Amino acid sequence: MSHGIPQEFIDRIEAIIPIYYKTRFWNLLSKEKETTFRVNPLRTTPQKVLETLERDRFRLKRVDWYPGAFILMKGRQKDLEKTGLYQNGQIYIQNLSSMVPPLVLDPKPGERVLDIAAAPGSKTTQMAGLMRGSGKIVAIDSDRIRCERLRANVERLGALNVEVLRDFGERYGKRNPESFDRILVDAPCSSEGQFCLKNPGTFLYWKLSRVYEAVKMQKKLLTAAFTALKKGGTLVYSTCTFAPEENEGVLDWLLSQHGSDVRILPIELPFSNQTAPLSQWDGKIFHPAVSRAKRILPTETMEGFFLAKIVKQ
């Protein structure tokens, strides 16, 4: 059933995904995710969006664990993107898994927040809404084109408390020690959680060497973020990949580097498609604290994800 997916990836997934979920996992891999979006509270309300779109013959389903999010049950994404709601920044199309890290980070109005790998801005603008436009978010990306897209999304959604910087996150954090109350490191990764058999481009270039390349950058970004975090501050580390090297392995490495300065908090997620992290991989036994992180298992509306909530002691 490889359909062009590398056999090495298949073998690894067989050792990562829980036994009870494997059949569902491989079935889901052949399906495209349903369209989901969230309402931008800086521009409108969920009720107004629901009334407007249903009047335009779309049919929506509310996400029970996130009142500001909807699943598109009837209608096409490309038609949704033509609506005034989308073009005026009142809604943002985003996978449900991608909405979880900002909710776990839980930034508050008035705080200083860093989004260290921010483009295209889905989580940046979500956090701006959670903060009700108050406080400050510094959103960083090093790539010029991605940074332009980030800036455009920030402007479209009216996130006036966001400062967009084209900079290297691994450098910025070190230049600004203990400057932020909360930090999001939604790290560049091998994107295994987005693989879809109907879109070979999602997995065509997967190689184990790319996983190891991602790990190097993830460690640099996480080190910089931990440096920039105030004592007592909170950091969320997340990826959209299944690779243990990029998830449990990076978290285990952070604990080995900073020891008692790192406290990993348990995460409670309001949905059933979740599982505990791996306790070991490829002969490496992970630090017991790694078990407090979470893996999100894919569904029809959610990509595979990993996230950890970290406090700087």
pLDDT digits (tens, 9 = 90+) for 169-211: 999 999 999 999 999 999 999 999 999 999 999 998 899 999 9
Which amino acid is residue 122, in one-letter code?
Answer: S
For the question of residue 189 being annotated catalytic, the response is no
Residue 133 φ/ψ region, left for φ over 0, alpha for ψ in the -120 to 50 degree band, beta for the rest: left
Structure tokens at 12: 């690894």
Residue 2: predicted pLDDT: 54
Burial bucket for residue 119 (CB in 10 Å: 0-12, 13-18, 19+): buried
Structure tokens at 160: 């006036």
Give the active site residue among 147, 189, 196, 240: 240
Q: Annotate 222-247 with b (16+ C-beta within 10 A) or e (fewer).
A: bbbbbbbbbeebbbbbbbbbbbbbbb
Model confidence at 143: pLDDT above 60:
yes
Domains of the chain, start order: 7-33+95-312 (3.40.50.150), 34-94 (3.30.70.1170)
Kindly indicate the confidence band of residue 3, based on its pLDDT and cuts at 50, 70 and 90. Answer: low
CA–CA dist 152, 143 (Å, integer): 14
